[in-house]
Amino acid sequence: MKSEHHIDDPDVILIGSGIMSATLGAVLKQIDPGLRIQLYEVAEKLAMEASDGWHNAGTGHAGLCELSYTPDYGPDGEVQVGKAIEICNQFEQSLQFWGYAVRNGMLKQPKECINPVPHLSFVYGQEQVDFLRSRHRQMSKHHFFKEMEYTEDRETIRQWAPLILDGRDPDEPVAMTRMPNGTDVNFGALAARLIEWMGQQDGVGYATLHRVTDLTRNASGGWDVEVKNVEAGESFTNSAKFVFVGAGGGSLPLLQKSGIKEAKGFGGFPIGGQWLITKKPELVEQHNAKVYGMSPGAAPTMAVPHLDTRVIDGEKSLLFGPYAAWTTKFLHEKGSLFDLPGSIRLDNIGSLIKVGLGNIPLVRYLIQQGTQSMQTRMGELQRFFPAAKQEDWELIDAGIRVQAIKKEDGDAGIVHFGTEVVTDSERTLSALLGASPGASVSTNIIVEIIKKCFADKLQDAECRERMKSMIPSYDEDLSDASMAMRHEQLNKEALQALQVIAP
Ligand SMILES: Cc1cc2nc3c(=O)[nH]c(=O)nc-3n(C[C@H](O)[C@H](O)[C@H](O)COP(=O)(O)OP(=O)(O)OC[C@H]3O[C@@H](n4cnc5c(N)ncnc54)[C@H](O)[C@@H]3O)c2cc1C
């Protein structure tokens, strides 16, 4: 797949066709239509890696019901909800951008990319019920979450998510929270549509089956990017003033090749994943929600299981997981078992060893998860859906998250399980490492990159105005109490444009 034109010596080269490159390219082209951009993707099709619909859970992460974002009680004895507020604030920028994309013909069929699916938290046992009650008390005080409902009533839970109670011990204390305007997002479709839109603009090109193999700073201060046309077996060099390494699991090796000093010390820790899925109509029709529970034992936050309605290619299914798995590959489609060993350098080996030694329960958990039987996997699903039957469910691969490992506070080896944008001091190259909370906050990540690396554009009144009409809160804090009405208005406009709520 490729656009009509290939852009030689563009202003910007984007590496990878996932949601991050797609968003950066589309936003940049909107704020400066004169910008020349070329994108390269190694796989055969666009957005087949982590952003692909089946490779992630498609949660529009707004901090609504994922309990892993609010794990702790504060000194006041109430659950602390600051992280959920922060994520919701960032997700609002994504909603605004996607809504703008629909209104301006960049996304023609929003339902292909985003669908309304309520988000629920479900807990059982008195200790968890007390936790959820406190979480709801704190969350519902904030204008982002004022619509959040809480119940311990089994009849209400049955109406919200009947499968959850099917076959459950009637004496067990249970509780649920519900946010009606949650979303299921097909980030792969979203990325592909944005890139296709870009390809129709003057001065933008994209090409799949093109692997970026090297990056070298050139004499004019930009980058020479070595690219291999995988089909033709030929390599060539293209140069750009700015390079975005949005290669997902492939970002770390490219960042290391760039040789920028800011990349020193970074390592990657891949976590594979699998889902159970069912398309059985009787089950799919009974469940319309994304249901989050509490973390089982040593599970890393990104592997806390949930039972999700998915809408992919217009078809509904139920997905449960992820089950984490040990892997040494950085990419699912085009990765190699040598990715992890090949990423070891003198400057990160200390961190990697420390991470291995300091996270033995996590490593043990990953190995145990990867080798468990179907029966054990079903056991985990049955904690959510007690009446689940093995014959209705199939195991499929999820994407791979390469967690960024970096030195923090000078202490090598502290795992930083977040998203990390690494930018050189000249602001000519940015690379995205890490995976959480991921695609949902892609717009916020890209806004920060633009503020840092394209600050000159935002000083231009016209560009700034275009940015403001695309992502109105890019320079505002909607979480502030004084912004409650502004948030309500922007949120409504975006959700209406995306057909998540009725006009
Ligand atoms: C199991 C799982 C569940 C998740 N659930 C959610 C969720 O519910 N909600 C959410 O918001 N996020 C979720 N995420 C995270 C989300 O999927 C990622 O944050 C996001 O998709 C990353 O997008 P990206 O563009 O950085 O990377 P990717 O989508 O992986 O794109 C990178 C692209 O770069 C290409 N590439 C790599 N190397 C090269 C090279 N050398 N040359 C050219 N191309 C190259 C790859 O082929 C790939 O297409 C989940 C992730 C996983 C793994």
The pLDDT tens digits for 173-196 are 999 999 999 999 999 999 999 999
Residue 422 predicted with pLDDT over 50: yes
Average the pLDDT over each of 152-156, 410-414, 452-456 and give the range with the smallest value: 410-414
Alpha-carbon torsion angle 114, 116, 121, 124, nearest 10: -120
Q: What is the dihedral of CA 164, 88, 317, 282, to 10 degrees?
A: 30
Q: Which atom of ligand 1 approaches the CA of 40 most closely?
A: 43
pLDDT at residue number 368: 74
pLDDT band at 246 (very low <50, low <70, confident <90, very high): very high
Cα torsion through 8, 9, 10, 14, rounded to 10: 90
Higher-scoring residue by pLDDT: 296, 344: 344
CB 245 within 8 A of CB 429: yes
The position carrying tokens 């296709």 is 196
Ligand 1 atom at shortest distance from the alpha carbon of 399:
53
51-60, 259-268, 385-394, 457-466: lowest mean pLDDT where?
A: 259-268
User: What is the average pLDDT across 289-297?
Assistant: 83
457 C-alpha to ligand 1 centroid (Å)? 27
How high does pLDDT run on average in the chain? 91
CB 354 near ligand 1, within 6 Å: no
pLDDT at 35: 97
Q: Does position 316 have pLDDT exceeding 50, yes or no? A: yes
Binding site membership of 248 for ligand 1 (Cβ less than 6 Å): yes
Quote the CA–CA distance of 182 and 147 in Å, as a whole number: 11
pLDDT above 50: residue 356: yes
**Structure confidence by residue, pLDDT tens digits, 364-415:** 777 777 778 888 889 889 988 999 999 999 999 888 888 777 766 455 444 5
Burial class (CB in 10 A: 0-12, 13-18, 19+), 500: buried
For residue 305, pLDDT over 70 is answered with: yes
Our answer on whether the CB atom of 20 is closer than 6 Å to any ligand 1 atom is: yes
Query: Alpha-carbon torsion 185, 186, 190, 193, what sign?
Result: negative
Asked if 143 contacts 190 with a C-beta cutoff of 8 angstroms, the reply is no
Higher pLDDT residue, 101 or 325?
A: 101
pLDDT value, residue 442: 95
Compute the distance between CA of residue 494 and CA of residue 107 in angstroms, rounded to an integer: 13
Quick one: which atom of ligand 1 is closest to the CA of 439? 11
Percent of the chain's residues with pLDDT above 90: 73
Could you tell me which residue, 297 or 31, shows the higher pLDDT? 31
Ordered DSSP codes for 131-195: HHHHHHHHHTTSGGGTT-EEE--HHHHHHH-HHHHTT--TTS-EEEEEETT-EEE-HHHHHHHHH
- 436 pLDDT more than 70: no
Are the CB atoms for 153 and 182 separated by under 8 Å? no
Ligand 1 center to residue 18 CA distance, Å? 6
pLDDT category, 351, cuts 50, 70, 90?
confident
Q: Torsions phi, psi of 71, nearest 5?
A: -80, -20
Which residues, other chains included, contact 484 with Cβ-Cβ below 8 Å and sequence gap of 6+?
143
Is the shortest distance between the CB of 211 and ligand 1 below 6 Å? yes
In this prediction, residue 414 carries a pLDDT of 47
The two structure tokens encoding residue 344:
């070891």
Q: Which atom of ligand 1 is nearest to the CA of 52?
A: 29
Task: Judge whether residue 233 has pLDDT over 80.
Answer: yes
pLDDT grade for 301, boundaries at 50, 70 and 90 = low
% of the chain surpassing 70 pLDDT: 95
Give the phi and the psi of residue 193 in degrees, each rounded to 5: -65, -40
